[in-house]
């Protein structure tokens, strides 16, 4: 259970007051971190729409006069480790204490208001120059969500800042800024809190899902593992490299880093599907309108990217023919394209339904990618079809059960009980996987145990990914 929202707003307000005091003192604070000084370079941008206090946008470069860097305490309060001026073009280079991680960098107006902000992965070693991702609406909302998560969790090490970066995309951030513009401070804070709750639920579910897979870790350990990939993305964006290519490399690098710790791409995809379901259930309960859609769309795109990699990996591991592997890769690529282009939840459901049809068939496994690999047809296909029908029914039960349970959890007073949400999702997913494995194992004598396991892995992803929240 995490802190009540009103307490979290107080923590964020305290951070803003600290920024005001810093500017009012007209001096750079003495670094209070460990080691010698390092340098943070970056720039404030006007990207993200009309400028609104704290969440960036057009006019930010003109408004920002000072940049300050802060560590974040377990209660969400900020502690200055360096500050400096902003150049006319929005660029800055400030001296900070080295050896700090998950640092908040804020651009401030002459009056001390926060104009925009970003999360810096690390200040590096003494003498290093590190790059902060360009400050825009997306980076600002990510920073606000992270601060809220830390204040809610009561521990800076209990959250993973890089996972926040994965879940809050530019469109979601613009929708948050619109909430501030249309509904004022209260509406904007409610949007931030909703995203923070959803991300906390996703992170708790991911940890529980990893544990179920036999991979024991912590949020801090994952932050350390993923830091290099996030730093590379920040540098690419600062150097104005192709953003889409940089983002794809970021996602691939994170997957590779986790795989290096022993969690395969298919296992990662299952864990992300569970985390995404928890995220979307909280979004559905806490947010509405455009913001709820954009958050849902962002979660679906993250899940699709991870799933496409997993599908290709499964058929490669199955030693499928080149033609079958190409077919599987195309199915994954089509999913990513369709999900990206989707303009409604119905379109997302259709995209994932099309993937299921490609992988295991719409009415029969015969002719599907799985059927081609298993070399089933006629009577043998009918046996597999019966098993797959039960798998599809099990996935529907998963959706119904989890939605009902999590809504009961979220209906309780106070903050979101993320452990209860995670337990509900992971238990139901594990039950579904067990049902799929049993069904595929009984699909007929023509499928050997090794084939049955791979077929089960494919079927779990095909049937249970992106379950609809109704």
132 and 268 both lie in a single domain: no
Range of the domain at 90: 5-137
338 and 204 both lie in a single domain: yes
**SS3 track for 186-231:** HHHHHHHHHHHHHHHHHHHHHHHHHHHCCCCCCHHHHHHHHHHHHH
* 238, part of any domain: no
Strands 129-131 and 37-43, sheet pairing: parallel
317 and 203 both lie in a single domain: yes
* pLDDT value at residue 383: 86
Number of domains in the chain: 2
* 155, part of any domain: no
Residue pair 300/292 in contact by the 8 Å Cβ criterion: no
First-last CA distance in the chain: 25
Cα separation values, 219 from 162, 381, 424, 469, Å: 10, 44, 20, 26
* 149, part of any domain: no
Nearest 5 degrees, angle CA 316-CA 318-CA 320? Answer: 70
Strand partners, 338: none
346 and 459 both lie in a single domain: yes
The Cβ of residue 40 has, within 10 Å, a number of other Cβ atoms equal to: 24
Cα separation values, 305 from 293, 300, 395, Å: 18, 9, 21
* 245, part of any domain: no
* 243, part of any domain: no
* pLDDT value at residue 301: 94
* pLDDT value at residue 376: 85
* pLDDT value at residue 399: 85
124 and 267 both lie in a single domain: no
Residue 10 CB contacts under 8 Å (≥ 6 apart), including other chains:
none
76 and 206 both lie in a single domain: no
84 and 204 both lie in a single domain: no
Classify the C-alpha dihedral 16-22-23-24 as positive or negative: positive
Considering 99, 118, 137, which residue would you say is the last residue of a domain?
137
List, as one string, the DSSP characters of 9-68.
HHHHHHHHHHHHHHHHTTSPPPP-SSSSEEEEEEEB---SSB--TTS--BTHHHHEEEEE
* 242, part of any domain: no
Considering 137, 157, 189, which residue would you say is the last residue of a domain?
137
437 and 295 both lie in a single domain: yes
Q: How big is the chain by its Cα radius of gyration, in Å?
A: 23
387's tokens: 């098993």
Q: Where are the alpha helices (DSSP H) in 342-417?
A: 345-360, 369-374, 378-410
* 50, part of any domain: yes
120 and 207 both lie in a single domain: no
Could you read off the pLDDT of 410-442 as tens digits, one per residue?
887 566 889 999 999 999 999 999 999 999 988
Considering 116, 137, 158, which residue would you say is the last residue of a domain?
137
The Cβ of residue 183 has, within 10 Å, a number of other Cβ atoms equal to: 13
Q: Where are the alpha helices (DSSP H) in 112-169?
A: 137-153, 161-167
* pLDDT value at residue 377: 84
130 and 269 both lie in a single domain: no
* pLDDT value at residue 50: 55
- Residue ranges of the chain with pLDDT lower than 50? 1-6, 11-17, 19-20, 22-35, 51
Distance separating alpha carbons of residues 235 and 116, to the nearest angstrom: 18
Short-list 161, 167, 138, CA closest to 46: 138
């Amino acid at each position: 259970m995490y802190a009540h929202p009103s307490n979290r707003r107080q923590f964020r307000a305290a951070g803003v007051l600290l920024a005001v005091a810093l500017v009012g003192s007209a001096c750079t604070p003495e670094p209070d971190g460990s080691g010698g000084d390092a340098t943070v370079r970056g720039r404030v941008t006007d990207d993200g729409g009309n400028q609104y206090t704290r969440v960036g946008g057009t006019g930010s470069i003109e408004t920002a006069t000072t940049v300050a860097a802060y560590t974040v305490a377990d209660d969400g309060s900020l502690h200055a480790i360096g500050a400096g001026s902003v150049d006319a073009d929005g660029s800055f280079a400030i001296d900070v204490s080295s050896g700090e991680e998950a640092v908040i960098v804020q651009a401030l107006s002459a009056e001390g208001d926060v104009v925009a902000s970003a999360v810096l992965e690390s200040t590096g070693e003494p003498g290093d120059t590190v790059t902060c991702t360009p400050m825009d609406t997306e980076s600002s909302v990510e920073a606000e969500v992270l601060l809220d998560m830390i204040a809610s969790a009561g521990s800076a090490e209990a959250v993973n800042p890089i996972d926040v970066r994965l879940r809050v995309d530019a469109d979601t951030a613009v929708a948050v800024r619109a909430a501030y513009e249309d509904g004022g401070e209260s509406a904007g804070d409610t949007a931030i809190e909703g995203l923070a709750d959803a991300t906390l639920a996703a992170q708790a579910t991911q940890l529980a899902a990893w544990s179920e897979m036999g991979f024991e870790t912590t949020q801090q350990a994952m932050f350390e593992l993923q830091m290099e990939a996030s730093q590379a993305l920040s540098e690419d964006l600062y150097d104005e490299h192709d953003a889409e290519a940089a983002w794809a490399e970021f996602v691939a690098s994170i997957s590779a880093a986790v795989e290096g710790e022993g969690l395969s791409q298919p296992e990662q995809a299952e864990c992300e599907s569970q985390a995404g379901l928890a995220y979307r259930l909280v979004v559905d309960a806490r947010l509405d309108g455009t913001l709820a859609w954009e958050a849902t769309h962002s979660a679906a795109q993250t899940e699709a990217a991870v799933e496409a990699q997993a599908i290709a990996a499964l058929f490669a591991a199955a030693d499928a023919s080149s033609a079958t592997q190409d077919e599987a890769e195309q199915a994954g690529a089509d999913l990513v394209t369709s999900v990206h282009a989707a303009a409604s939840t119905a379109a997302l459901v259709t995209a994932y339904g099309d993937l299921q049809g490609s992988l295991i068939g719409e009415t029969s496994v015969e002719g599907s990618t799985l059927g081609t690999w298993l070399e089933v047809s006629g009577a043998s296909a009918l046996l597999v079809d019966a098993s797959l029908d039960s798998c599809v029914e099990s996935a529907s039960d998963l959706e119904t059960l989890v939605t009902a349970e999590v809504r009961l959890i979220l209906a309780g007073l106070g903050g979101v009980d993320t452990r209860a949400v995670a337990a509900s999702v992971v238990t139901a997913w594990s039950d579904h996987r067990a049902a799929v494995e049993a069904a595929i194992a009984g699909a007929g004598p023509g499928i050997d145990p090794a084939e049955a396991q791979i077929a089960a892995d494919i079927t779990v992803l095909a049937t249970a990914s992106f379950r609809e929240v109704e």
